[in-house]
Structure 1
Amino acid sequence: MPKTERVAEWMTENPVTVTPDFSVLAAYERMRARGIRRMPVVDKDGALVGIITRSDIEQAMSHPRSEEERRMARFSLAGQTVAEYMTPNPITVAADASIGEAAAMMIRARVSGLPVMDNGRLIGIITESDIFRLVASTWAAEESG
């Protein structure tokens, strides 16, 4: 795998974001509807202040098994905000960092995605899935070459 691959080449640009005052239930529904597992949290000026994941919220719902438990879990989260469940000041990676650096950061921090920054501005998100796409495409190219 080329060591020159950069985060910017494999990240998802313009990630879906929320603000800290956003409803935690609405954030969860937004992630489910878009098929994503994490969202950067930005303030009104667009500065990164945190990250929230579906599992952060699911843990708070204590894994309801029945429809009644699901309703109760949702009720218990009603009125609560993203700020109450997000991880503040998340680890970030620079857009020009190598994929290897990003992967090492994720392994060390035990996280599955990192907000991508360029000159202090959030420009994307890189996830384990993105890195796996790179690995798979490299293997495919090696096998066909």
Structure 2
Amino acid sequence: MKTELVGNWMSEGIITVDTTTTLPEAHSLMKAKNIRRLPVVDKKKRIVGIISLGDIRAAEASPATSLSIWELNYLLAKLKVKDFMTENPVTVTPETTIGEAANLMLAHKISGLPVVNADYDLVGIITESDIFEMIVLHEWEALLPVVETI
């Protein structure tokens, strides 16, 4: 983990939204693509924030509300990602080690990090799932010679 780089394990071609995306649109996108966070980008595709499923859930109405489903949907459709996203998210570069990325996630209590290049262009995302996959694959490779001798 000390020498493995984020660039080798990050997900590329990630789905993004812009600041004018509504919360229901972002939520639908997350559900359709089975993802828990969306980077928010500007017109130049530079990251300006990140919105998580938790951010969206926190904005939704309580089940105890007296509003009808139509009133709720109407109000939710007016809410924009820009009002609920985390601005200036913690980021890493493709050259960051997996260990450094994992430490940042632990320190900031987050489960994913946008990956940017020197121009702050979004080039990928590294998540706890990516890191877990790397650990499992590396541990399995390390154990394989031992297993074969049994």
TM-score normalised by structure 2 residue count: 0.87
Q: Distance in 1 between matches of 2:143 and 2:53?
A: 36
**Residue type of the partner of 1:21?**
T
Residue 92 of structure 1: how far off its partner (Å): 0.3
**Residue type of the partner of 1:141?**
E
Deviation string, structure 1 residues 7-45 (Cα, Å, up to 9, x no partner) = 000000121100001111101100110000001000111
Residue 4 of structure 1: how far off its partner (Å): 1.1
Query: Is residue 114 of structure 2 the alignment partner of residue 131 of structure 1?
Result: no
Provide the alpha-carbon RMSD of the alignment.
1.9
Residue ranges of structure 1 left out of the alignment (5+ in a row): none
Once the two structures are superposed, the pairs formed by residues 9-88 of structure 1 within 5 Å of their partners are 9-62=8-61, 64=63, 73-88=72-87
Identity of aligned residues (%): 41
**Residue type of the partner of 2:84?**
Y
- The structure with the larger Rg is 2
Q: Is the 8 A contact 1:41 1:49 kept in 2?
A: yes
Residue ranges of structure 2 left out of the alignment (5+ in a row): 146-150
Q: Distance in 2 between matches of 1:78 and 1:63?
A: 16
Q: Is the 8 A contact 1:64 1:73 kept in 2?
A: no
Aligned residues: 142
Q: Distance in 2 between matches of 1:62 and 1:136?
A: 39
TM-score normalised by structure 1 residue count: 0.90
